Chain A
Amino acid sequence: MSRWLATGVLLVLMAGFGFSVYQLLASQKRVDTGVVAPTRTSTVTIPGTLYLAQGGSLYAFQRGRFGRLTAAGGWMQPALSPDGTQLVAVKRGFNYSDLYLLDTAGHVQQQLTHNSATRVESNHWAFFPRFSADGQSIFYSYDPKDPSNTYRVDLAIFALSPGGNGRQWTHPNLYTGGDVTPVPLKGGALVFAKSSIDPKGAVHTQVWIQARAGSAGLGLTAPEDDCGQPALAADGSALAMVCRHGGPTADIEVAALDAANFQLGQPAVVVPAGLNAAPAFSPDGRTLAYFAPQGPGGSFQLWTVALPVAGQPASPAVPPTPRQITHDLAFDTSAGPAWV
C-alpha cells in the first residue's frame, strides 16, 4: 500500500514538473497582446492633469494615477475648452463618429454632431476636435460627400458654432485623405496638417496655415519635411510637430511661431527619429508630452521631454533626454493628450 502511495506521489510530482516546464516556456514569450487598464497602474507624478484615451475610454492622469472618465465606447481625441471646464471628444462607431461635449468628470453634456446613417456610404466621420481660442466654436475634420464620386473620402476642416451648422474652412487635395489636426490660433487663423501627393506618387504632409475660412493658406513647412500633428504652446509662441523627412520614423521638432506673419522659425529636434506621435505642450510650455512605443513593436506609452526655455529646446545639437512615464499601457495616438 505504501509503495503504491509513494508511486502515486511521484507521478503527481512528475506531472507537476511537466506542467512547470510548459509554464516556464510560456513565461519566456516576449509577445504580449494584453492591455492593462490605466486605473490599475500608478506611475511618476507630472504637474497638472492630462486627458487621454485608451481602449475606447477617456482617462484623466493626475498625481501619478489614472481616473477613468468614460466607459469603453469608442471614445478618443479629448480636447479641453480654453477655460478648462469642458472636454470635446470623439465617440467612434462602426461606420461613423460623432463629437460630444463632456464635463471634466466625463459626463456627457451634449452630442454635437449626428453622423450615423443607414446606408454605409452616407455615414460621416468627425475627428480631431479643438476649441477655438475664444471657446465659441469647435474646429474638427469632417468628410463632406463628393456628389460626383462616391469613392472620394477626403477630410476637410470645419468649424462648428453653437446652434449652427459646420462651416467648411479648408479644401483638401483630392484623394489624399485630406486635412487633419486643426489648431486654432488666437488671432483667428488656423494651423493644420495638409496631405498632398507629388507627381512621382510620394505622399507629403505639411503644417499649413490659413487666415480665414476658404482662403488658400500656405505651408509653414516644406513638403519634403513631411511634418504633421502640430501642437501649439499655451502662449502661442511655439509649435511642436512630428516630421518624417521621407522616412518610416519621425522626429519631434519644436519651432518658434510668428503667427502674425505666418512664419515658422528654424525647427529644433527635441525627440530624435522613432515612432513618435502626437506631442502636446505642458501649460507652462516647459515640457512636451507625446506617445512612443516602450520598445520595438511595443504598445504606445506616455513620454515627456523637458524644454528648458519655454517652447524652445536647450540646444538644437543635443536633444534633451526623454522620460517614459507609463509602462504596459496602450494609448490612442491619433491625437495628443490635453494637458491643463
Chain B
Amino acid sequence: MPEFDPRGRPGAAPRRRRASALRPRLLPPLSLVVLGFTVAALLGAGAYFLPLLQITASTAVSSGNVPNPVVNPADTKPFTVLLLGSDDDSKFAADRVLTQSMILLRVDPGTKSATLLSIPRDLWVSIPGQRGKAKIDTAYEQGGARGAIAAVESNFQVHVDDYVWIGLQGLIHLIDRMGGVNVTVTNPVMDDFYPADVNTSNPYGYYRVAALPGATHMDGVQALQYVRSRHGDLRGDFARSERQQQVLLALKTQAKSLTVADLPQVASAFNGEIKTSIGVDRVRALLAIVSEFGGANIKQVLLLPPYTSAATVGGQDVILPDWNQILPLVHQSFP
C-alpha cells in the first residue's frame, strides 16, 4: 500500500523528486566543479613552475639591446654563444667585474657538433671604445655584456649571437641544482692560495684546495674550486680553461637527464647570478638535442703557444696573441 501523502499523491514519487531536487541546491553545477578542479590544477602547476616564470621575466629584462633572435625550436641554424664567468664577490662593485672565464661556443644543431674556444683572460687586445690595449677581461667591466661581445667580435672577427654570464654563486647553485657533476680529474689540482671569496666576511682571504685524480662526483663548491684553481699548475690559466671546458661538457651530460620538471629547480639557481640573452625557447630546443652531441663532435680549443705567448707590458703579466695563427684556427669553426 502506498505511503500516505498529505498532498494526496502516492508517497514514492515525491521522495524521488525530492532527492533529485536537493542535488542542485546542495552542490554547485557540474561545470563549476570541473572549472574549480581545473583552476586548482593550474595553480598547482603554476606554483611548481613559478621559479621558471620568474627567470623568464628577468631574462627578458637582462637581455637589453643584445641580439636575441626569436628561435623556432626546430631551427637548425648554427649559432655562437659567448660564455662569461666572473669573480663577482664583495671585492667588486655590482656588474663592474672582470671576466675570469671567456669561452666562445659554436653549436651546429644540424650536424650535432659544437666547438669550445677558451679565450685567455689576460689576452692583450684592443677594446672597442678604449684607448690603446688592455686585457680582454676588462671589456665586461667597462661595457658589460655588450662590451665583452664587441671586444670578442672585433678581435676574433666572429659574430656572436648570444651571451651567458654567470657569477660565482650562480655556478655553485646551478651545479648543485643539477645534482652535481661527474668529471675525471687527470692530475692532482693543488692550490694553496685559493680565494676565500664566497660566503665570507673577508673576501681577501684564501684557503687550500686539493682535487685528487680520478673520476669523481663534485658538488657546486668543489666544481668551482676545480675550475678556478690555477696557482699550482705549470699551465696556469690555460689549465683552468681546460678544466672549465671539461665541467661545461660534464654539465651537458648532466643535462641529458633533466626533464621539464627539473627546470624550476635549475632556474631557481639564477637569482641574478646568471644573465643571458638566450630565450627560454632556445634553451628548451637545446635541451631537446643535447643528448645527441658528444664525443668526436665536440671540438675543444685552447690558445696555447704558439698561438699566444706570455709577456710583461707596463708591469702587467699578459698573453700576447699571434693573430696570424689564431684567426685561421678560429675561422675553421666560427664564421
Contacts and interface: CB of A to CB of B under 8 A. Distances in A.
Interface of A: 2-3, 6-7, 10-11, 13-15, 17-22, 25-26, 28-33, 94-97, 120-121, 123, 125, 127, 143, 150-155, 174-178, 180, 193, 195, 197, 200-201, 203, 205, 226, 228-229, 242, 244, 248-250, 275-278, 291-293, 295-300, 330, 333-334
Closest 9 CB pairs of A and B: A177-B188, A21-B44, A18-B40, A175-B234, A153-B190, A18-B44, A28-B261, A195-B187, A275-B215
Contact of A151 (B186, B192, B210, B249): B192
Contacts of A276: 215
Interface in B173-222: 176-182, 184, 186-193, 206-208, 210, 212-217
B58 interface: no
A299 B188 contact: no
B262 A177 contact: no
B184 A250 contact: yes
Contacts of B305: 201
A30 B214 contact: no
A278 B214 contact: yes
Contact of A203 (B25, B179, B187, B212): B187
A300 B215 contact: yes
Q: Classify the secondary structure of B's interface with A.
A: mixed
B273 interface: no
Interface in B224-244: 231-235, 238
**Max chain A Cβ within 10 angstroms of own Cβ: one of B25, B37, B190:** B190
Interface string B231-273: 1111100100000001001100110111111100110000000
Interface of B: 25-28, 33, 36-37, 39-41, 43-45, 47-49, 176-182, 184, 186-193, 206-208, 210, 212-217, 231-235, 238, 246, 249-250, 253-254, 256-262, 265-266, 302, 304-305
A293 B217 contact: yes
Contact of B192 (A150, A176, A229): A150
Contacts of A33: 176-177, 179-180
A17 B179 contact: no
B186 A334 contact: no
Contacts of B234: 174-176, 197
A25 B45 CA distance: 7
A226 B186 contact: yes
A249 B45 CA distance: 39
Contacts of A123: 208
A22 B45 contact: yes
A222 B249 CA distance: 27
A178 to B, nearest CB: 6
**Max chain A Cβ within 10 angstroms of own Cβ: one of B191, B216, B238, B262:** B216
A249 to B, nearest CB: 7
Given A197-B235, A201-B235, A296-B254, 11 more contacts: A6-B27, A10-B36, A14-B39, A21-B44, A29-B265, A151-B192, A155-B188, A176-B188, A248-B184, A249-B215, A333-B214
